[in-house]
């Protein structure tokens, strides 16, 4: 993914034009997972390529100098989406973002994810960049992460020795680092059945359209009357990893949603995040965005602006 999609710093030097600016690597296109695992074992310095929209830029900027590139684009079992028993959905990790948006099941049943995918990068990048690539880059600002956290998605990791599954929350370890072992491939993202009647809102704060998120907030609410029965909140670009805002969830669940509750939830969200100041924004501003956007999302989703003036 490009900087726009995955957080490569803007100041990264670019490759010299018209010349190959990289040290050499071998390019492999396995067609089965088994073959891919074998290549990973043979080339300890190999980089996995899904969409490649981030990887190629980083290689050309010499941030990465892999001895080999193992492309996951020709492995059929990594692409597509399939309904699961229990009403969930399994998304192949190497499915391009644009393909996910063409699927009615994704758009209708997981609208929070669709909202985030639509504002990710540009059409050109969405046609190529993949869900798994976005997650494995583990950028704090990965657009797909907050909605997937709110849906309590799990990731499936497979190696020649077996298969394991983790909550997405445990997959992220820090900026650019994940729980994936070098021998493993992220094969799928598994979404549980969406809570019935859930109301959702994704907000991405940015300066211009193509920007990386300065901060992002994903909110999922299930209400019974005015009482919050379930709340799932997550935020991006405001911590070393995309964050699930559990303190806010605990505060909201079981409570009657009022404007005061929304204000308090916003305050709690602001204290739950740990943003930094970098070239895109400041820590204070990001914290403020989280506070305001959580509050406004709750007001909007609970229909509070009709009752008493919007804050």
Give the residues lining the site for another protein (CB under 8 A).
1-5, 8, 12, 14-15, 17-20, 22-29, 49, 51-53, 56-57, 59-60, 67, 69, 71, 73, 98, 121-125, 127-128, 209-210
For another protein, the closer of residues 57 and 265 by Cβ is 57
- Residue 28 CB, shortest distance to another protein, in Å, is 5
For another protein, the closer of residues 28 and 203 by Cβ is 28
- Residue 251 CB, shortest distance to another protein, in Å, is 36
In Å, what is the CA distance from 44 to each residue of 40, 135, 150, 181?
6, 21, 35, 12
For another protein, the closer of residues 107 and 193 by Cβ is 107
- Residue 72 CB, shortest distance to another protein, in Å, is 11
For another protein, the closer of residues 50 and 198 by Cβ is 50
**Among 77, 79, 59, CA closest to 69:** 59
For another protein, the closer of residues 126 and 296 by Cβ is 126
List, edge to edge, every strand of the sheet that includes 68-71.
26-28, 68-71, 46-49
- Residue 79 CB, shortest distance to another protein, in Å, is 13
H-assigned helices in the chain: 3-6, 33-42, 55-60, 97-101, 104-109, 111-118, 123-126, 131-137, 145-150, 168-171, 246-252, 259-272, 283-301, 304-307
In Å, what is the CA distance from 249 to each residue of 4, 118, 149, 182, 244?
30, 26, 12, 34, 9
Task: Report the sign of the C-alpha dihedral through residues 130, 132, 136, 139, in that order.
Answer: positive
- Residue 169 CB, shortest distance to another protein, in Å, is 29
């Amino acid at each position: 993914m490009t900087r726009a999609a995955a957080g490569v710093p803007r100041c990264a030097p670019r490759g010299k034009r018209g010349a190959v600016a990289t040290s050499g690597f071998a390019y492999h296109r396995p067609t089965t997972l088994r073959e891919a695992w074998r290549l990973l074992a043979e080339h300890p310095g190999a980089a996995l390529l899904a969409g490649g929209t981030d990887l190629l830029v980083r290689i050309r900027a010499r941030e990465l100098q892999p001895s080999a590139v193992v492309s996951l684009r020709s492995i059929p079992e990594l692409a597509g989406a399939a309904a699961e028993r229990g009403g969930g959905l399994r998304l192949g990790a190497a499915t391009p973002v644009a393909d996910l948006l063409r699927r009615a099941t994704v758009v209708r049943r997981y609208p929070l994810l669709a909202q985030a995918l639509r504002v990710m990068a540009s059409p050109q990048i969405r046609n190529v960049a993949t869900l798994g690539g976005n997650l494995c880059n583990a950028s704090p600002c990965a657009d797909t992460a907050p909605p997937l956290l709110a849906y309590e998605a799990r990731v499936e990791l497979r190696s020649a020795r077996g298969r394991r599954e983790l909550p997405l929350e445990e997959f992220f370890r820090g900026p650019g680092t994940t729980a994936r072992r070098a021998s493993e491939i992220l094969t799928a993202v598994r979404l549980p059945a969406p809570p019935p009647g859930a109301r959702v809102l994704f907000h991405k704060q940015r300066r211009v359209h193509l920007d990386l998120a300065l901060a992002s907030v994903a909110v999922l609410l299930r209400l019974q009357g005015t009482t919050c029965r379930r709340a799932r909140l997550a935020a991006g670009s405001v911590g070393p990893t995309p964050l699930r805002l559990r303190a806010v969830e605990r505060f909201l669940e079981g409570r009657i949603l009022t404007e005061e509750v929304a204000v308090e939830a916003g305050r709690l969200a602001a204290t739950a995040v740990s943003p930094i100041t970098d070239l895109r924004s400041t820590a204070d501003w990001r914290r403020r965005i989280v506070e305001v956007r959580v509050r406004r999302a709750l007001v909007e989703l609970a229909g509070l602006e009709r009752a008493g003036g919007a804050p």
